[in-house]
A and B are shown apart, each in its own frame.
Chain A
Amino acid sequence: GAGVSQSPSNKVTEKGKDVELRCDPISGHTALYWYRQSLGQGLEFLIYFQGNSAPDKSGLPSDRFSAERTGGSVSTLTIQRTQQEDSAVYLCASSLNEGYEQYFGPGTRLTVT
């Protein structure tokens, strides 16, 4: 079956621009997670959606970062006024329910110039 998909696979943007990253989770998975992987920081949690509950935003590094999940499926991570330190691979994962293993997408490599 189809796995988690993310788009775009690569994004190069100029400092100060806004970017949107998209995640399509596995069908039927109620939990969706965003992580960031960078050389200096390893893998960091950003935000977590579970069903209709309020998202856990505790990992978002600043108010320039936001995310939404529409219809309990597709999610969009938005970074406003991008900075060079935002350059990283952004990974999306989904799981059948919270507590189950998470399946990751291929990631979006963001480069801020």
Chain B
Amino acid sequence: AQKITQTQPGMFVQEKEAVTLDCTYDTSDPSYGLFWYKQPSSGEMIFLIYQGSYDQQNATEGRYSLNFQKARKSANLVISASQLGDSAMYFCAMREGVTGRRALTFGSGTRLQVQP
């Protein structure tokens, strides 16, 4: 089974609107962390936001927020007020803390295009 599933290969959003990028995960590890990374066309992976499995509140970082629904095993990324510079690939990733691998397992990514 896929550990991380991103079901949206591509998304379009109008500038200044909000967009949600979906991510579901699969683990039996009680302790895990969920990460979102942005990869612009330049290729570098940029860390955006982190959510720990025991965190009570959804993570937020500026225009980025993570809609964490533990029972549904989803960790969707919400980008508010989209900007042209947000056009990039976005990857959801998971690190399993106890029984699993400590490195990141990535989803297949979502390509976001922000339109003026």
Contacts and interface: CB of A to CB of B under 8 A. Distances in A.
Interface of A: 31, 33, 35, 42-43, 45, 48, 50, 56, 58-59, 89, 91, 93, 98-99, 101-107
Contact of A102 (B42, B47, B108): B47
A12 to B, nearest CB: 17
Contacts of A59: 101, 103
Interface residues of B, number: 23
B25 interface: no
Nearest to B43: A107
B33 A99 contact: yes
Contacts of B46: 104
A42 B108 contact: yes
B47 A103 contact: yes
Contacts of A56: 101-103
B103 A106 contact: no
Contact of A106 (B37, B43, B47, B105): B43
